[in-house]
Amino acid sequence: MSIAGLMGCGKSSTVTGPPAAVSQWSRSSSGLPSGGSCSAVTASGSTLLAGSYGVFRSTDGGLTWTEATTQPTNRSIYSLTASGSTLLAGTGAGVFHSTDGGRNWTAATTQPTNPLIYALTASGTTLLAGTSGAGVFRSTDGGRNWTAATIQPTNPHITSLTASSTTLLAGTNGAGVFRSIDGGVTWTAATTQPTSLYIGSLTASGTTLLAGTGGAGVFRSTDGGLTWTAATTQPTDPNISSLTASGTTLLAGTAAGVFRSTDGGFTWTAATMQPTNLEVFSLTAGGTTLLAATYGGVFRSTDGGLNWTAATTQPTNHEIRSLFAGGTTLLAGIATGVFRSTDGGLTWTAATTQPTYPYVYSLTASGTTQLAGTSGAGVFRSTDDGLTWTAATIQPTNLYIMSLTASSSTLLAGTDGAGVFRSIDDGLTWTAATTQPTDLHITSLVVSGTTLLAGTGAAGVFRSTDGGLTWTAATTQPTNSFVLSLAASGTTLLAGTYGGVFRSTDDGLNWTAATTQPANRFISCLAASGTTFLAGTDGAGVFRSTDGGLTWTADIPQPTDRHIGSLAASGTALLAGTSSAGIWRYPL
């Protein structure tokens, strides 16, 4: 997975804190588009399944989709697979199974010990589930009961699984590929690994195995996964999120669309007509129909992946990647562009003129100018309260804008690979910082007085005291160096990482872990509301702290989708953007 796929919010707002026990979170997505992001697809005979905000079914080759009758109790669907007449869904609350073509879903009786199921596969009557932190689990009774593998991969964060005859493969988040030849009971590492050890996807095509990596492209193995070599000609985007095989045609999904190979994975070329939303999360083949799950819904191909068209009736959900509260107008960035609210987040309408590439990762404002950072088209500006958007004249050299913030008349943009860029003319033109952070993947930005802070994907927190021209590393870093989010309130700074919340009270020089952490330590976003901090997690919902981030308690009740990708605070409400259930509102 690229850093782009992990982003939350990068700027906080400060308002009066919420009352103690009167308000609660409620869905507030009126006006958002009816179609939304899709995270997983699979095929079972003539029935196709898509994971969105719940499970959706298609029986007409993916043209139209209808919602399952009885959904998994957790509707965040990360993975899907089929084993005969049994269908499995991996959610944020464990494994669910269906025996009636995906119409009705029931929870497994004995679940994996970690409920985040990022990968599923089947090998004969043995089913495998890959968890986010507890390794691989097995089921031999149709997915009803799950037990842990005896010898696990050394990295328990399982991102992908596949089966090739009696050989099973597991991809991990940082330790490469692992193999099992005893039905998933024991796992050993590949002898020669891909050069990138983040394995986002795996598939098998006859005796050829493919591994999609984060940052190094596609790798091949012809000896049962023991050794791996890189493809000769790679997809233009080396972050491979999905792989599948359809006959002799192999497909790879990336943030730059779909790529095809007809020579066993040696060389890859881009599809002729791509999905209109290029970020492809999942691919599957159902007969001669190929499906791609994207941020913009389901796309179909009936010519071997050369040309892709959108499904007529899409699954319904809304992934909210960015939120900004400034003045009386609130902004939300989703896969189809910018949406506005002028009634405190109750209802939303689309901007009249959208950014040319509408996937909006980040939002901020400076005076009367609003800025939107897109996934692939750079920075866009609005001077009419977000109604119309035009591209910056001179863009950052990297057009993936992961974070934005404003410090007086200086604007900052954090890119996914080219570092920090500055603008001093209201976002019209952008120039690179003179001295960059050592890691150029800038995941988050925040302002604290005259100090600017940047969170990076691998090197922790960096500071600037000269308006973002030069950056130096914090003296004592968070122990987890992947900083997903930053927030500031008064003299207290917070950093959200894969490993929880960290605090600084000396202008970001030194960072220490919170005393009591949120139950889920993947902190995707942070915001400040007066003296109250909010933390959005990837699976456990919203947490709050009233003691400067030292201790955290969960909000009750939570949004139905507990994967919180963005947070913002306005004068009348707190807003939470979810992965698959739209925007939620907490009135103040």
Q: What's 518's domain CATH number?
A: 2.130.10.10
| CA 99 – CA 109 distance, rounded (Å) | 15
What are the distances in angstroms from CA 300 to CA 29, 46, 127, 258, 265?
27, 15, 28, 11, 21
Residue 5's φ and ψ, nearest 5 degrees, are -80, 5
Where in the sequence is the domain holding 323, given as residue range(s)? 11-29+318-587
Cβ neighbours for 196, distance < 8 A, ≥ 6 positions apart: 213, 214, 215, 216, 238
**DSSP secondary structure of 271-308:** -SB--SS--EEEEEEETTEEEEEETTEEEEESSTTSB-
- Classified as helix, coil or strand, 3 is helix
Residue 563: the pLDDT is 82
Q: Does residue 372 fall inside a structural domain? A: yes
The residue among 152, 189, 151, 196 whose CA lies nearest residue 174 is 196
Beta-bridged to residue 123, according to DSSP, are 126
What are the distances in angstroms from CA 32 to CA 35, 317, 341, 402?
9, 9, 11, 22
Residue 436's φ and ψ, nearest 5 degrees, are -90, 160
Residue 6's φ and ψ, nearest 5 degrees, are -120, 5
What are the distances in angstroms from CA 476 to CA 480, 506, 578?
11, 11, 32
Residue 34: the pLDDT is 55
In this predicted model, what pLDDT tens digit does every residue of 304-337 receive, in sequence order? Answer: 999 999 888 776 556 677 898 877 889 998 877 8
- Classified as helix, coil or strand, 563 is strand
Residue 571: the pLDDT is 76
What are the distances in angstroms from CA 305 to CA 37, 246, 258, 262, 558?
20, 9, 8, 11, 40
Cβ neighbours for 60, distance < 8 A, ≥ 6 positions apart: none
| CA 486 – CA 497 distance, rounded (Å) | 9
The residue among 304, 295, 242 whose CA lies nearest residue 273 is 304
What are the distances in angstroms from CA 124 to CA 83, 120, 139, 167, 204?
8, 13, 11, 11, 15
Q: Does residue 250 fall inside a structural domain? A: no
DSSP state of 435: B
Residue 419: the pLDDT is 96
Q: Which two tokens stand for residue 90?
A: 């991996």
Residue 165: the pLDDT is 87
The gap from C-alpha 422 to its chain's centroid, in whole angstroms, comes to 26
Q: Does residue 508 fall inside a structural domain? A: yes
Q: Does residue 161 fall inside a structural domain? A: no
**Cα angle 122-167-220, degrees, rounded to a multiple of 5:** 105
Taking a C-beta distance cutoff of 8 angstroms, is the pair 378, 392 a contact? yes
Q: Does residue 220 fall inside a structural domain? A: no
Q: Taking the chain, what is the end-to-end CA distance rounded to the nearest angstrom?
A: 36
| CA 50 – CA 62 distance, rounded (Å) | 9
Low-confidence stretches of the chain (pLDDT < 50) are 1-21
Q: Does residue 144 fall inside a structural domain? A: no
Residue 33: the pLDDT is 60
Residue 206 burial (CB count, 10 A):
11
Q: Does residue 275 fall inside a structural domain? A: no
Residue 1: the pLDDT is 36
**Strands 229-230 vs 240-246: parallel, antiparallel or unpaired:** unpaired
Q: Does residue 53 fall inside a structural domain? A: no
The domain tally of the chain equals: 1
| CA 101 – CA 114 distance, rounded (Å) | 26
In this predicted model, what pLDDT tens digit does every residue of 347-403 receive, in sequence order? Answer: 889 899 988 866 788 999 999 999 999 987 899 999 999 999 999 999 999 988 999
